[in-house]
Copies of this chain bind each other. A is one copy, B any other.
Amino acid sequence: MTEPARSPEVRKQHAVKRLEEDIDAWVSTSSADGTPYLMPLSFLWDGETLLFSTAASNPTSLNLQATGRAHVALDHTRDVVIFTATVETLRAEELPPGAADAFAAKIGFDPRDAGALYLYFRFTPETLQSWREANELTGRTLMRDGTWLV
């Protein structure tokens, strides 16, 4: 049964809680010539941005380095939190103090210990939407140009 539509305020609280507590997201990127690439990756939310890490040679990494853009969804197609993001590429030594440790503690894997070179990627959400079912498509946009609307 479809639940009643939630208010924008309730949706924002839910989206922020998911950003704080979820571990994985679907990261959609594209090569410069328009080949889409989708991969689940773990992240750490700092209240404003999401930190991801993947091997420097992976398609997601190459796409992010080339385009600086991603479309990201938290898990579950019937409880959607989805956003476009601008993306900066960072090496471990360029992260703020403690960020690499906090990332490793949450994810259970430290990219600094990987055999291959891993890069970090800081995602800044631009347009963020949240809905559960069709009755919530109206009012699904909660952030635009990086600013919460509610």
Assess whether B29 is in contact with A73, with CB atoms less than 8 Å apart: no
Query: Which of B70, B75, B82 sits near A77, CB closer than 8 Å?
Result: B75
Assess whether B38 is in contact with A69, with CB atoms less than 8 Å apart: no
Please give the distance in Å from A31's CB to the nearest CB on chain B: 6
| Complexed CA–CA distance, A147 and B28 (Å) | 25
Chain A interface size range: 20 to 34
Q: Is A80 an interface residue (CB 8 A)?
A: yes
- Secondary structure type dominating chain A contacts: strand
Question: Given A75-B76, A75-B77, A77-B75: A38 and B24 within 8 A (CB)?
Answer: no
A sample of 22 cross-chain residue pairs with beta-carbon separation below 8 angstroms, ordered by A number, consists of A24-B78, A26-B26, A26-B73, A28-B36, A28-B37, A28-B71, A30-B30, A30-B31, A30-B36, A31-B34, A33-B34, A34-B69, A35-B69, A36-B69, A38-B38, A38-B71, A38-B72, A38-B82, A39-B82, A40-B73, A40-B77, A109-B134
